[in-house]
Structure formats: structure tokens, C-alpha cells
């Protein structure tokens, strides 16, 4: 089956150049590359090694992500469509073949998505997308790319379209991306609609790509609230709450630790409205008492300095702490806290269903520093 790569492009040019340079390693697996340039001040330029392979569809006005993809899909001649954001980079050749091998082995698959890496930290950015009672989450976010849980391909509820493969005729039969979701959630919506065709969504564990994200010149943030509301209302019957499943997996290495320690002092530093999806699982093994609450100014902060946000009594608490945050990785720069308190028994859980000992987070950061 032939492959058509579709790249929606709305600047900056640097990332498109890098993307195309890395794709060139797999040109033998690609029938054509279609760049849908929209809302750019300057036109995209085809590299010389793409002669006869690359087509540029030029639109002066921004189309929105789903409309740009749909336009490219209408023009595509390949049996398989491969969506690639313009700010993705593929470090190793052969990743397209990995997608195809998994699809050939499992004909029930409709969508395959690559394992996405954060272009700054070299850690997991996306390995499928799940659902809590109130919001979406990214399993394994910020985990090392060597984490055993992300080495094997697995079925997921939803996936990111930054690097996504789907059969052309299946995509068209589903109506393509929903263009009313102009800038957000169109990939999650497509993943859920796939259930109607009784097909599955999988992440390819041995096909990795770096993703910059948020590199578009188009201002999209004002649309996110409306897009989220539309997506949730539209798919309320299709969304499945799978956060407990992922958290159980993350807690498995720490069950004996939880059972032998306690009571844990709860330090809630998250934007979660309630902890009903976290505490019942933890309390299966130990007891928890509320100790401290601090609400971050925004979701998924990249850094939290514990001495700046918690009270002294937390530092002096004699038992282990259960720290709940949006991102476990946000606690990595807390060497002072670790020196001032015995943190060996403290456990961290985040809204993306990750669980680590506090020392594992800080030590990982120390090991990465020169």
C-alpha cells in the first residue's frame, strides 16, 4: 500500500525544513508528500531531493488544522495517509515501516500514532491520550523514553495526529477531521469516531518522533475553551474513563512501599477538582490524611519549588508524604527540600497517572546535570 504524507504548514520555516530533512531518510517508503501551506507570509520551498515527490498547496489565508489536513487528503493518491505536523523530526529511518508492520499484524487497527518525544527534554510527550472523569490526560508524560511501559506498542483510547497513519478510504468514510473543531481535539474526535467503524487506535512503540508543538504563527489559544466544550458534548457517549487503569499500572511497583508506610500526609498541589480517581486506589494499600493544599496559577506547570508553596508543618511532618501534582516532573528542581527533609518514603502522583518516589524524580534530574 502506498503512503501519502500530508503536512499542514503555517510556519516557521525552520521546523518544516528540519521535518523534511528527517523524512528524506524514508523516501523509499513514501509515494508523495503534500504540504498544505496556509496563512504563511512566504511560500514553502521544496528541497531538491524531493523532486517529483513533493507538492505544495498554497493558501494565503489560515485554514485551520482539520481543514488543511482534509484538503491534503482530498488530493492524496496513496492508500495510506500519514499526517505529520511541520514541527516534527524523525531521528531514525525505518519508522514508517514500523507503522505498516504493526498494521499488517493487526487488521483491526484503524489509526497508528508514533511515540512523541519532547524536543527539549528528550522525554515522553505523548503515548496515547486517556480520559479522567473531567478531562483528558497524557499517560507517561515526562517519563524517560527508556521506560519499559513505552517500549511496546499498545492500544489506546485516543491519539495525537502530530504523526498519525490511517487508510485513505477509512478516513474519507469517517468524514475526515471535524472542521468545526478548528484548532484543537480534532484528532481525539477522529479516534473516538473510529469506534463506529469497529477499528482500533494504537501507538507504535518503536516508531519515535520529536515534536515541537505550539510552533504555529496562528493564535489558537482563544479557541480552546469552545473547542473543548464542543468536543466533550459531541463525544460524551464515546469517552471512556481509563485513568484508574493507567494509575494502577503506575502504582504496581510501589504497592509494598504503600502497604508498609503510613499514614501518608496528603499535599495537594494539583488543579484536579477532586481526588476521587486517585485516593481510593491509594487507600487500598494505606491510609491518607489531608495535610496541605495549594492551587497552581495554571495547569501543568513545568516547575514547582516546594519551599515557596507549602507550609513549614509539611516539612516537619513525621510520616511519608503523598504529593499530588499536575506533572511529576515539575518537582525535579527541589534539591533544597530534599536536603531539609527525609524524602525517601515520599510518593508523587500526577494527573497524567504517573507515580514515582520523590527521590526518583530529583535524582533523575541530578543525573542529567553536568
- Mark whether 312 and 285 lie in a shared domain: yes
What one-character-per-residue DSSP string does 13-59 give?
A: HHHHHHHHHHHGGGGGG-SEEEEEEES-SS-----GGGTTTEEEEEE
Rounded to 10°, the helix 224-235/186-193 angle is 10
- Mark whether 136 and 267 lie in a shared domain: no
Contact 111, 199 (CB under 8 A): yes
CA 29 vs CA 5, 100, 203: distances in Å:
10, 10, 19
Supply φ then ψ for residue 34, to 5 degrees. -115, 115
Is pLDDT of 41 > 70? no
Q: Residue 233: how many CB atoms within 10 A of its CB?
A: 8
Q: What is the pLDDT of residue 370?
A: 39
- Mark whether 48 and 190 lie in a shared domain: yes
pLDDT tens string 52-62: 899 999 888 88
- Mark whether 26 and 163 lie in a shared domain: yes
Which of 213, 235, 257 is at the close of a domain?
Answer: 235
> Per-residue confidence at 72, pLDDT binned at 50, 70, 90?
very high
- Mark whether 218 and 333 lie in a shared domain: no
- Mark whether 212 and 296 lie in a shared domain: no
Which of 235, 260, 290 is at the close of a domain?
Answer: 235
Is pLDDT of 220 > 80? no
Contact 165, 97 (CB under 8 A): no
- Mark whether 210 and 275 lie in a shared domain: no
Range of the domain at 149: 3-235
Largest pairwise CA distance in the chain? 69
Residue 369 has which C-alpha cell?
A: 546535570
- Mark whether 119 and 230 lie in a shared domain: yes
Percent with pLDDT over 90 in the chain: 82
Q: What is the pLDDT of residue 341?
A: 95
Q: What is the mean pLDDT of residues 333-353?
A: 95
Q: What is the pLDDT of residue 342?
A: 95
- Mark whether 61 and 195 lie in a shared domain: yes
Q: What is the mean pLDDT of residues 349-364?
A: 92
Q: What is the pLDDT of residue 262?
A: 83
Residue 256 has which C-alpha cell?
A: 509494598
Q: What is the mean pLDDT of residues 221-225?
A: 73
Is pLDDT of 369 > 50? no
Mean pLDDT over each residue of the chain, to the nearest integer: 92
- Mark whether 219 and 307 lie in a shared domain: no
pLDDT tens string 232-252: 999 999 999 999 999 999 999
- Mark whether 285 and 163 lie in a shared domain: no
The CATH number covering residue 25 comes to 3.90.550.10
Distance CA 98, CA 119 (A): 21
- Mark whether 86 and 215 lie in a shared domain: yes
- Total number of domains in the chain: 2
Tell me the Ramachandran region of residue 203: left when phi exceeds 0, alpha when psi lies from -120 to 50, beta otherwise.
Answer: beta
Is pLDDT of 5 > 90? yes
Contact 33, 5 (CB under 8 A): yes
Q: What is the pLDDT of residue 1?
A: 85
Is pLDDT of 223 > 60? yes
Is pLDDT of 46 > 90? no
Q: Which residue has the cell 501507538?
A: 203
Which of 183, 200, 235 is at the close of a domain?
Answer: 235
Is pLDDT of 43 > 90? no
Distance CA 8, CA 72 (A): 8
Q: What is the mean pLDDT of residues 2-29?
A: 92
Amino acid at each position: 500500500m502506498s503512503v501519502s504524507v500530508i503536512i499542514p504548514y503555517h510556519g516557521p520555516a525552520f521546523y518544516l525544513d528540519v521535518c523534511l530533512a528527517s523524512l528524506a531518510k524514508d523516501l523509499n517508503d513514501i509515494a508523495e508528500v503534500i504540504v498544505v501551506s496556509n496563512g504563511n507570509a512566504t511560500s514553502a520551498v521544496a528541497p531538491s531531493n524531493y523532486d517529483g515527490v513533493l507538492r505544495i498547496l498554497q493558501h494565503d489565508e489560515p485554514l485551520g488544522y482539520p481543514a488543511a489536513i482534509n484538503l491534503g487528503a482530498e488530493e492524496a493518491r496513496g492508500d495510506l495517509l500519514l499526517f505529520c505536523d511541520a514541527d516534527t523530526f524523525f531521528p531514525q529511518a525505518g519508522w514508517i515501516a514500523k507503522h505498516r508492520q504493526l498494521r499488517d499484524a493487526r487488521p483491526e487497527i484503524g489509526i497508528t500514532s508514533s511515540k512523541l518525544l519532547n524536543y527539549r527534554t528528550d522525554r515522553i510527550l505523548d503515548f496515547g491520550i486517556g480520559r479522567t472523569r473531567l478531562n483528558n490526560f497524557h499517560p507517561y508524560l515526562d517519563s524517560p523514553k527508556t521506560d519499559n511501559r513505552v517500549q511496546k506498542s499498545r492500544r489506546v483510547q485516543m491519539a495525537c495526529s502530530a504523526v498519525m497513519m490511517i487508510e485513505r478510504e477509512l478516513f474519507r468514510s469517517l468524514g475526515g477531521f471535524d472542521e468545526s473543531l478548528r484548532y484543537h481535539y480534532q484528532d481525539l474526535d477522529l479516534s473516538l469516531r473510529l469506534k463506529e467503524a469497529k477499528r482500533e487506535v494504537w501507538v507504535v512503540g518503536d516508531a519515535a518522533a520529536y515534536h515541537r508543538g505550539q510552533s504555529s504563527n496562528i493564535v489558537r489559544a482563544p479557541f480552546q475553551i469552545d473547542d473543548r466544550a464542543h468536543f466533550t458534548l459531541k463525544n460524551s457517549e464515546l469517552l471512556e474513563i481509563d485513568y484508574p487503569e493507567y494509575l494502577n499500572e503506575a502504582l504496581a511497583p510501589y504497592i509494598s512501599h504503600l502497604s508498609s508506610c503510613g499514614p501518608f500526609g496528603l499535599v495537594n498541589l494539583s488543579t484536579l477538582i477532586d481526588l476521587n480517581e486517585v485516593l481510593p486506589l491509594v487507600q487500598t494499600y494505606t491510609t491518607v490524611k489531608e495535610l496541605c493544599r495549594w492551587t497552581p496559577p495554571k495547569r501543568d506547570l513545568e516547575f514547582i519549588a516546594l519551599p515557596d508553596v507549602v507550609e513549614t508543618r509539611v516539612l516537619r511532618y513525621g510520616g511519608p508524604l503523598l504529593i499530588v501534582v499536575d506533572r511529576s516532573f515539575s518537582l525535579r528542581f527541589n534539591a533544597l527540600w530534599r536536603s531539609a527533609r527525609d524524602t525517601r518514603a515520599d510518593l508523587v502522583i500526577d494527573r497524567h497517572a504517573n507515580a514515582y518516589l520523590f527521590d526518583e524524580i530529583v535524582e533523575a534530574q541530578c543525573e542529567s546535570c553536568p
